Amino acid sequence: MNEGWTEITADWKGELTFIGENGAGGSVQMGALNDKPGTGPMQLLLVALAGCTGMDIVSILRKKRIKLTDMKVNVRGRRADDHPMVWKEIEVTYLIWGADLKPKDVEQAIQLSEEKYCSVGIMLGKDAKIKSSYRIFKPGEKAG
């Protein structure tokens, strides 16, 4: 592997199914396989965005010694009508649980993720308008 490069392999499993693998053994299924539904490549971009920004938020809040008890990142998107049908609008909703969460801290973490750290979001944001919102919950409180 060349320095600075990341490599993955997408192994075709028949029909329109691939298993993507990284060098560390992580894998993801794209398309249906043996009657098990899979995730499409464009959906995986939204999953990647949720994971990327979610990891940022957790990391930033931990550095501030702010304890989370749970977090979910919901993402939805609208694609262009014509090929290549890229994402045009993306909405990210952060649901964050913790005893002493302050809106100011959550907003700052989201801003840092969106503007500086989340490479997936920054890359997608070159073509898509990305909007975000958040909701804070006390531990054990149901999101409703």
What are the residue ranges spanned by the domains of the chain?
Answer: 1-39, 41-137
Q: Which residues contact 113 (CB under 8 A, 6 or more apart)?
A: 52, 53, 56, 57, 60, 121
φ, ψ of residue 72 to 5 degrees: the values are -130, 145
pLDDT for 37 equals: 85
Question: What is the C-alpha separation between 88 and 115, in angstroms, rounded?
Answer: 18
Q: Which of 38, 8, 12, 40 is nearest to 25 (CA)?
A: 8
Can you tell me which residue has the tokens 């959550």? 106
pLDDT for 38 equals: 86
Q: What is the pLDDT along the chain (144 residues), one digit of tens a residue?
A: 468 999 999 999 999 999 999 999 999 999 988 888 889 999 999 999 999 999 999 999 999 999 999 999 999 999 999 999 999 999 999 999 999 999 999 999 999 999 999 999 999 999 999 999 999 999 999 997
The DSSP-derived string for 111-138 is: HHIIIII-HHHHHHTTTSEEEEEEEEE-
Q: Which residues contact 36 (CB under 8 A, 6 or more apart)?
A: 29
pLDDT for 1 equals: 47
pLDDT for 2 equals: 66
Answer whether 85's CB lies under 8 Å from 43's CB.
no
> Rounded to two decimals, what is the model's pTM?
0.93
CATH 3.10.20.30 fits 41-137, yes or no: no
pLDDT for 46 equals: 98
